[in-house]
Structure 1
């Protein structure tokens, strides 16, 4: 029997609330299948199961908050008889459901994979407090995601369609908090999570910092040639060249792509690049694009576009949150010349890119104006040193001078 547990979705997550089961007892699941949705302080995360088997029992009901590592379900391995285990305190809700309608097996809580509504966490909570049926709300967010504004519009329409009697003083005193107040609370919870992770990082990780100015004229000229016959929606951005260059450099300098555990540094065989994404309501996430070094630029551009859209819609996958082996942050669009990031544990490095701008540079003994960008590295001194960090940045620079090889 296999225990499927709540995964760790980053250093700033120690618990999550089960939002939705996408399987039921008796279902056969395959490796990598999305089986549940868990809400964290940052997003509603689709939880993938990396085991194969038959669902024996769902141990945690929808709506319950549990710690990382808590068993969520049991699975029977292929060929193993399905056995139900005795219910544990973790799987028992505070108010026991009626036997004829257990919470985890209600049809409304089980949705087929690929047919789940994408709903931002704050929109989901607001809909519950206002009594809005998400099944009848039309989403206007990325890829049809239901946003807070969609829920508020639906609630307003519902209010006008069903006039309510005048509220009594008791009703007024017990009214749910406004959507703005809930969004503010959620933002505060996210900031607290980020603060805990970044405080841990600066407390435990001996950072060192390096920077290099990279001339982008060759890379930008090559991009212009590549994009001239492409529709706007398929054009490549400089960001994909940066991601690919970082991944290829990390393949060569393996001490920058991996994890620092209690027993020491573990280099990872693949390079999964975390992309720092700012959220519209404040805060940020850094989910992974997997196997960046192996992907073509067109595929990487599509993956980046999809990841940003889903991150801002509050719909990410567990592997995207837990798998980054190195992170890239780019604040060039915010107008800053350089950024020195804080390492996201248990990773050991973060690469930053600032604003590309025309600057006076010296090349081969001559002075000219060129478009350059400041690339920075924040690295863990336990896993590498400044000499290797300098070579790592130099390799990123070299690769960006040969964009046709990326």
Structure 2
């Protein structure tokens, strides 16, 4: 048996609200299958399961707000029988009392002193337990109406209204209603504050001539319908992925005091939302896909992001972020790294600039590419080589 916990869908997420289950007890699920929809501070996200199994028990009810790391459901591994369920049930219930507020993957059962025996045996979701403590409701007096007799938030609220309270407890903390845009800005601010506080940033930029890339793109788009034309953004993304293959220290995560390199380039594409705010979901395996496929996937990603229909892997997988503000008229972008990533690449607008070519002063289209990188993982020398590689890749667009 294994636990399915609420994953972290970005550095700015510490909790989410379960909107809907897509499965029920007894269902067989496959790795990558969407099993739930969770509302974060930024969007409603389709949450995928990470391994095959059979749904045993759903522990959280739709409408409950739970911390990252909370056990949402338990599943049986393929071939695991009912006998295993009984053996592990007691340990599973003890774990549920400890997961609230824990990080992803932490499953530390509470000590006997911390949780009385009668409440440890009681089946209650972490969110309901937390709410009961806040309201002063005696947990041992509750009767559950959820699956398998589990105590739900509704049970706690009903008990509170009926006057089943502890003699000594503080008044309930009321969660104020905050509009979605304000909640998103707070989450972004928290993540960026953490980034600037914890990550020793260094910044570099390179002015890259784009005449060859523009000519090649115009030729590639000749005769194509508008809906199938390639955008310069796709060439830039593919060039970044190619440069990452040569400088892998820019691609990965800094966790628990060490760098974790990732071979595939899952590039987080910064996408602005119509109602305000920003999300950077992953475009997966950019380096291994042809430009036509990337263009199709990029258009689909932008459309689904703005419609609020993203998958959890797209939110949690980005290994580096690329932000392009050229269409907003800015010349250069000096971004803030999105933890636990270690680098961010920015592109400004392509504009005519004075350039010396073969000894002659000419006007050429060029773009400023910037790099924000983590000094714990790389240094300015390697960062400069990375930008030089990016420049060279964009001079040979036919090879991308």
TM range (shorter): 0.7 to 0.9
CA deviation map 1:61-115 (0-9, x unaligned) = 00101111111111100111143745234274869774699999xxxxxxxxxxx
Q: 1:375 is matched with which residue?
A: 369
CA distance in 1, matches of 2:351, 2:150: 57
Q: Report the Cα offset of residue 363 of structure 1.
A: 2.1
Does the residue aligned with 2:23 lie in a helix, a strand or coil?
coil
- The answer as to whether partners of 1:62 and 1:103 remain within 8 angstroms in 2 is no
C-alpha contact (below 8 Å) 2:60/2:125 kept by paired residues: no
Aligned to 1:299: 293
> Match of 2:124?
88
Once residues 315 and 125 of structure 2 are traced to their aligned partners in structure 1, the CA distance between those partners, rounded to angstroms, is: 28
| Match in the other structure for 2:33 | 33
Is 1:4–1:49's contact at 8 Å kept on the other side of the alignment? Answer: yes
| Secondary structure in 2 matching 1:250 | helix
- 1:166-181 aligned within 5 A: none
Structure 1 pair 102/61, CA: closer, same or farther in 2 (3 Å)? Answer: farther
Match of 2:240, SS state, is helix
Q: Which residue of 2 aligns with 1:322?
A: 316
> In the alignment, is the contact (CA less than 8 A) between 2:282 and 2:315 conserved in 1?
yes
Q: Does 1:403 align with 2:397?
A: yes
Q: CA deviation at 1:365?
A: 2.5
* Aligned with 1:190 (options 184, 189, 200): 184
8 Å Cα contact 2:66-2:127 kept in structure 1: no
1:119-138 superposed matches below 5 A = none
User: Structure 1 pair 100/303, CA: closer, same or farther in 2 (3 Å)?
Assistant: closer
Partner of 1:166: none
Deviation of 1:262 after TM superposition, in Å, equals 1.7
Out of 293, 302, 306, which is 1:308 matched to?
302
Structure number, greater radius of gyration: 2
* Contact map agreement 1:45 1:316 (CA 8 A) in 2: yes
Counterpart-to-counterpart distance in 2, 1:309 and 1:101:
40
Shift of 1:219: 0.5
Q: Which residue of 2 aligns with 1:248?
A: 242
Equivalent-residue separation in structure 1 for 2:54 and 2:307 (angstroms): 31
Structure 1 residue aligned with 2:217, among 197, 220, 223? 223
- Cα deviation, 1:106-125, whole Å, max 9, x if unaligned, reads xxxxxxxxxxxxxxxxxxxx
Matching of residue 273 in structure 1 with residue 267 in structure 2 = yes
Match status 1:207 vs 2:201: yes
Q: Which residue number in structure 2 is paired with residue 286 of structure 1?
A: 280
* Separation (CA, whole Å) in 2 of partners of 1:4 and 1:70: 8
- The match for 2:114 is none
TM-score normalised to the size of structure 1? 0.78
2:77 matched residue in structure 1: 77
| Residue equivalent to 1:234 | 228
2:385 match: secondary structure: helix
What is the CA-CA distance between 1:320 and the residue it aligns to?
Answer: 0.4
Native 8 Å contact 1:60 1:92 kept in 2: no
Cα distance in structure 2, aligned partners of 1:260 and 1:100: 40
Q: Equivalents in 1 of 2:212, 2:337: separation in Å?
A: 30
CA distance in 1 between counterparts of 2:150 and 2:302 reads 33
**Worse-matched range after superposition: 94-103 or 266-275:** 94-103
- Secondary structure at 2:213 match in 1: helix
Q: Distance in 1 between matches of 2:277 and 2:150?
A: 33
Deviation of the 1:229 alpha carbon? 1.1
Give CA-to-partner distance per residue, 1:279-317, whole Å, 9 cap, x none.
Answer: 111110000011000010001001110111111111111
Q: Under a length normalisation based on structure 2, what TM-score does the superposition of the two structures give? A: 0.79
SS at match of 2:55: strand
3-state secondary structure, aligned to 1:192: helix
What secondary structure is seen at the aligned counterpart in 2 of 1:12?
Answer: coil
